[in-house]
């Protein structure tokens, strides 16, 4: 929709060191697919991150996958992983398929945009958290910090980003990508917004197992186990380690149903990985 309050769109370079001209009423413009989908009465200027081409959005090295935040969903989905032992790379396609939005949106929407939106159902959040991703953030003053994907999203539409701070780079380490993974998802309509998205990842070298829960909770939750847990242990952990207030309540699901499905899917995931 038209954003009538916007007075200026400024080209911005994703990799610039600093952006001193940032002020209240500014916002980063990535794909724009969320920004232009709802009224933005508080915004006056947009810094267009797509205006200046900055080369390849994805770099694959032995240490892992580096994704620029402006990488579109379509680019990520079409990237062919060269490392044969990155078993968890199958999650990339599955998470791209977990958008409510269809393929036309994938041509514009960015990986970083989905992460920064911090929606409980954001599938790029699920992907990065499950694979132990790290984000590089840069403040408008030029300070750089790295945070774990798990710590970035703190609630529905809420992240640790400070005003003007920008998500530049997403790194998915090879260690995470080498794990065996299984994903389960549920939405109230076919191919709709996720009500629950559960990913289990199993490190076959160490035996460690991690369960990542998104969409069902207002922020991502991860449970760690030294080995694949028994049903009782899993249920106990889900019940005791997830704050009951985190079960998300919105038109796409109820807290009770989400808690129930999370348990069911988590058990299923473990069965598959056992």
Partner 1 sequence: MAFFTLNGKEHHEQPKAGQCLRTFLRQLGCYGVKKGCDSGDCGACTVLLNGEPIHSCITPAVRAHGKNVISIEGLTDGDELHPMQQQFLEARGFQCGFCTPGMILTACALSEDQKGDLNHAMKGNLCRCTGYRAIRDAIEGRAELSVESQPGECIGRDVLPPTAHSVVTGQEDFTMDAAMDGMLHLKVVRSEHAHARICAINTQAALAVPGVVTVLTWEDAPTRRFTSAIHDSHLVDPDDTLVLDQVARFVGQRLVAVVAETVAAAEKGCQVIEIDYELLPMVLEPEEAMAEGAPPLHRDQPDSFIINPGRNILVDIDLAGGDIAAIRQQADVLIERTYSTHRQQAMHLETLGSIGWIDEKGCLNIRTSSQSPFIAKQKLEFIFNLNPCNVRVFCKRIGGGFGAKQEVLTEDLVALACLKTGRPVSWEFTRQENFIGASVRHPATIKVRLGAQKDGTLLLIEVDSTLNTGAYGNHGGEALYAGSVALGHYRAPVKHFSGRSVYTNTIPSGALRGYGLPQTLFAVESCMDELALELGVKPNALRRQNMVGANDRIVTISDEPSDVVMGSYGLDQCLDFVEAALARKADQQGPSGQEWAVGEGLAIGYHDTVPPTEHRSTATVLLHDDGTYCLFTGTAEFGEGTSTVHLQFAAEALATTPDRIKLRQSDTKICGWDTGAFASTGIVVACQATMHAAKALRERILIHAAQHLGVEVEECTLDSGGVSSSCGGKLSLIQLAELARHKGIKLAEKRKGYGSPVSVAFNAHGFRVAVNRITGEIIILQSVHAADAGRVINPAQFRGQIEGAVAQAIGYAMTEDLMIDRAGKVRNPDVRNYRIPSFADCPETEVFFADTVDSVGPYGAKGGGESPFNPVAPALANAVQNATGVRFRHLPLTPPRIYEALVSTFAR
231: Cβ contacts below 8 Å, ≥ 6 apart: 267, 270
Q: Could you tell me which of 164, 161, 156 has the C-alpha nearest to residue 135? A: 161
Residues 179-198 that bind partner 1 (CB under 8 A): 186, 188-193, 195
Q: What is the DSSP letter of 176?
A: H
Query: Which residues are 214's β-sheet partners?
Result: 197
Proportion of the chain in helix, strand, coil states, percent, rounded to 5: 30, 30, 45
Stretch 99-138: interaction string toward partner 1, x if CB under 8 A: -xxxxxx-xx------------------------------
17 vs 190 by CB, closer to partner 1: 190
Q: Find the shortest distance in angstroms from Cβ 29 to partner 1.
A: 7
Question: Could you tell me the CA-to-CA distances from 35 to 106, 116, 157, 183 in Å, in that order?
Answer: 15, 11, 13, 29
5 binds partner 1 (CB under 8 A): yes
Q: Which is nearer to partner 1, 203 or 268 (CB)?
A: 268
- Rounded Cα distance, 163 and 175, in Å: 32
Residues 12-31 contacting partner 1, CB under 8 A? 29
Cβ at position 24, least distance to partner 1 in Å: 17
Binding region for partner 1 (CB under 8 A): 1-9, 29, 32-38, 40-41, 43, 46, 48, 50, 97, 100-105, 107-108, 186, 188-193, 195, 250-254, 256-257, 260-261, 264
């Amino acid at each position: 929709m038209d954003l009538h309050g916007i007075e200026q769109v400024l080209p911005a370079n994703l990799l610039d060191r600093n952006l001193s001209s940032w002020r209240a009423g500014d916002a980063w413009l990535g794909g724009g697919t969320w920004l232009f989908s709802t009224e933005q009465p508080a915004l006056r200027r947009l810094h267009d991150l797509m205006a200046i081409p900055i080369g390849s959005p994805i770099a694959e090295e032995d240490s892992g996958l580096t994704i620029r935040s402006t990488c579109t969903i379509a680019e990520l989905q079409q990237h062919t992983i060269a490392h044969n032992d990155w078993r968890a790379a199958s999650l990339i396609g599955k998470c791209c398929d977990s958008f409510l939005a269809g393929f036309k949106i994938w041509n514009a929407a960015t990986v970083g945009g989905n992460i920064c939106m911090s929606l409980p159902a954001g599938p790029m959040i699920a992907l990065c958290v499950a694979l132990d991703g790290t984000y590089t953030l840069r403040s408008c003053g030029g300070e750089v910090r790295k945070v774990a994907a798990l710590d970035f999203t703190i609630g529905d539409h809420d992240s640790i980003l400070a005003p003007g701070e920008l998500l530049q780079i997403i790194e998915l380490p090879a260690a995470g990508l080498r794990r065996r993974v299984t994903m389960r998802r549920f939405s109230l309509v076919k191919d709709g917004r996720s009500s629950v998205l559960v990913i289990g990842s199993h490190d076959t070298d160490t035996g460690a197992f991690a369960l990542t829960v998104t969409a069902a909770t207002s922020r991502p939750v991860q449970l760690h186990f030294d080995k694949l847990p028994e049903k009782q242990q899993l249920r106990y952990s889900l019940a005791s380690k997830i704050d009951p207030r985190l079960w998300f309540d919105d038109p796409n699901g109820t807290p009770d149903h989400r808690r129930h499905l999370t348990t069911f899917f988590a058990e299923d995931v473990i069965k598959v990985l056992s």
